[in-house]
């Protein structure tokens, strides 16, 4: 089974489905109509070729086939990067910076890369609206309300947990013996030792006195 | 099941040819193939998906990936049937390019045209009913010619390849996607079992037509295997001819250039 074609097929299906869920995406796609973008990700064995029309077509470029000669294609824009840099492409304003930092190699029309990046970043999908198409408004609203409540509760719990943990960490700090406390404790122990010695001396004195009194009576 | 020992195209007498495992008058084959596709046209797409478990879409994608197609190209999708390749080519070549979907069978062409128009694919697609053996186009007209799962149904394949060579521009390429011979003997046996026992039953169940799918299985066995087709393409004038087996050789993609 042609694995690369299975991957591109999946990417193409996912992208076009997501674009269909956002009515405004067609305007962004129109700006790219007729353009092509090749993305070479270093970790992938084959480059991905995006062709833009009323939808996005994703292909591979056959370059390393043993039986078929390499196919060369001319594209409007070619970018080379690694997987780590890929998420940063969502912010089109970072493109120039990434090129300067040599994290991204770009040949051709930067506008194509920027517009594609903006198209993905600006996707705004109303998932509740999408669900209501299948379940009706009430169920969709209740489902999303419950999910939001659940999310809020979880968020609150996490925040509260973090505060409590912080407090406990602070408290454990105050439990630790400070030098002044240690000094006070040592002084107390010395006073107690002095008092004990004095008491012991007095007891010895009383005992001695008692012995003398008992001898004179006899 | 093995195919009878008959030549794959017309015999030395130029009178008879094969139709599946049967020998028929050459002049009859066109109409017999036409009847098969008239019968299956309406269920063609769903049967393709069922028979191949959807893998035919990946084979077609691979063909497009090997085509080197780009904006502005003029493409001939020969035996284009229900327009799977045409749809994608149309979006890639854009307004400055053109795709011609050609098929000998008007029923298939009609299904293809309706399907593509329903998808909004209009403007750069032309529909032509044409016989691959005598293509009705001027010399050096196309950058790319594809024929996917069509060549085995052509009566005179050498004539068809020569016709394709004529209408291809210098520098252009021909891609032939067609069922072929599995390279592994075990796979070959399993494939035979599937083709001759299961396939006609699926055809009966879904398209109410077991005979057409029996013909499909037989015509695949009668189609020239990889090296033979490569030699035929070279004889027609194609250069740098290569092929790639897909899914263990169940299908092969042949590619040749005209210089």
Q: Residue B226 CB: number of other CB atoms within 10 A?
A: 17
Give the pLDDT score at A218: 63
What residues 74-93 of chain A have any CB closer than 8 A to a CB of chain B?
Answer: 74-75
Question: How far from the centroid of its chain's Cα atoms is residue B189's Cα?
Answer: 24
Taking the Cβ of residue A54 and every Cβ of chain B, the question of whether any pair is shorter than 8 Å is answered with yes
pLDDT digit string, tens, across residues A33-68: 889 999 988 888 888 999 999 899 999 877 544 444
Give percent of chain B with pLDDT exceeding 90: 46
d(CA A111, CA A209): 109
Yes or no: say if B65 and A62 are a contact pair by the CB < 8 Å rule. yes
- Shortest distance between the Cα of B4 and any Cα of chain A, in A, equals 30
B177 located within any domain: yes
Domain A2-125 in CATH 3.40.50.1360? The answer is: no
Q: Where are the alpha helices (DSSP H) in chain B?
A: 26-40, 44-52, 55-67, 84-93, 106-118, 157-167, 185-193, 199-207, 210-222, 226-236
CATH number of the structural domain spanning residue B137 = 3.40.50.150
**Closest C-alpha among B230, B235, B132, B146 to residue B180:** B230
* Shortest distance, CA A64 to any CA of chain B (angstroms): 11
B110: in domain: yes
* B103 is annotated as contributing to ligand binding: yes
Does residue B3 lie in a domain region? Answer: no
Q: Is A11 on the interface with B (CB under 8 A)?
A: no
pTM above the 0.80 mark?
A: no
CA atoms within 13 A on the CB side of A143: 13
Higher pLDDT, B65 or A136: B65
Q: How far apart are CA B30 and CA B27, in angstroms?
A: 7
Q: Is residue B153 part of a domain?
A: yes
Task: Give the domain extent around B66.
Answer: 16-184+210-258
Chain A, nearest residue to B92 by Cα: A51
Number of domains in chain B: 1
Above 50 in pLDDT, residue A149?
yes
Cα distances (angstroms) measured from residue B205 to each of A186, B32, B37, B198, B200: 97, 22, 17, 11, 9
Count, residues in chain A: 218
More confident residue, B8 or A181: A181
User: Does B6 appear as a known binding residue?
Assistant: no
Domain locations along chain A = 2-125
Give the angle subtended at the CA of A53 by the CAs of A52 and A57, to the nearest 5°.
Answer: 55
Confidence of residue B3 (pLDDT cuts 50, 70, 90): very low
C-alpha to C-alpha distance for B33 and B113, rounded to whole angstroms: 20
- Quick: pLDDT tens for A106-120: 888 888 888 888 888
Is there a domain that residue B190 lies in?
no
């Amino acid at each position: 089974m042609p694995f690369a074609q299975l991957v591109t097929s999946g990417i193409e299906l996912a992208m076009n489905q997501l674009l269909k869920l956002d009515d405004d995406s067609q305007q962004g796609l129109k700006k790219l109509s007729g353009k092509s973008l090749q993305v070479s990700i270093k970790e992938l064995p084959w480059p991905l070729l995006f062709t833009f029309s009323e939808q996005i077509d994703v292909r591979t470029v056959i370059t390393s086939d043993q039986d078929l000669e390499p196919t060369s294609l001319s594209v409007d824009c070619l970018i080379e990067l690694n997987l780590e840099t890929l998420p940063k492409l969502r912010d089109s304003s970072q493109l120039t910076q990434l090129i300067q930092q040599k994290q991204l190699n770009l040949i051709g029309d930067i506008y194509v890369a920027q517009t594609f990046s903006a198209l993905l970043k600006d996707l705004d999908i109303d998932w509740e609206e999408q669900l209501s198409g299948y379940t009706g408004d009430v169920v969709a609203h209740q489902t999303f309300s419950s999910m939001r409540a659940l999310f809020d509760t979880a968020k609150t719990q996490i925040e509260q947990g973090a505060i409590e943990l912080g407090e406990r960490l602070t408290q454990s700090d105050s439990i630790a013996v400070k030098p002044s406390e240690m000094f006070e404790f040592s002084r107390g122990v010395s006073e107690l030792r002095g008092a004990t010695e004095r008491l012991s001396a007095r007891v010895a004195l009383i005992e001695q006195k008692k012995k003398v009194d008992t001898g004179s009576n006899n | 099941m093995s195919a009878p020992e008959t030549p794959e195209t017309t015999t030395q007498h130029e009178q008879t040819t094969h139709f599946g495992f049967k020998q028929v008058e050459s002049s009859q084959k066109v109409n017999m193939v036409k009847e098969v596709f008239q019968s299956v046209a309406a269920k063609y797409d769903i049967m393709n998906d069922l028979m191949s478990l959807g893998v035919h879409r990946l084979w077609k994608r691979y063909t497009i990936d090997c085509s080197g197609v780009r904006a502005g190209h003029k493409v001939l999708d020969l035996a284009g049937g229900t327009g799977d390749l045409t749809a994608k080519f149309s979006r890639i070549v854009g307004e400055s390019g053109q795709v011609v979907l050609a098929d000998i069978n008007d029923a298939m062409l009609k299904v293809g045209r309706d399907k593509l128009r329903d998808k909004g694919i209009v403007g750069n697609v032309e529909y032509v009913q044409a016989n691959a053996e005598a293509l009705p186009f001027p010399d050096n007209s196309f950058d790319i010619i594809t024929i996917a799962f069509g060549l085995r149904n052509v009566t005179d394949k050498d004539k068809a390849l020569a016709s394709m060579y004529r209408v291809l521009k210098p520098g252009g390429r021909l891609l032939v996607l067609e069922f072929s011979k599995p390279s592994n003997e075990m796979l070959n046996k399993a494939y035979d079992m599937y083709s001759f026992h299961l396939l006609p039953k699926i055809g009966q169940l879904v398209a109410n037509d077991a005979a057409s799918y029996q013909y499909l299985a037989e015509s695949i066995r009668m189609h020239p295997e990889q090296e033979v087709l490569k030699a035929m393409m070279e004889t027609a004038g194609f250069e740098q001819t290569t092929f790639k087996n897909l899914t263990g050789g169940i299908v092969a993609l042949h590619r040749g250039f005209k210089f």
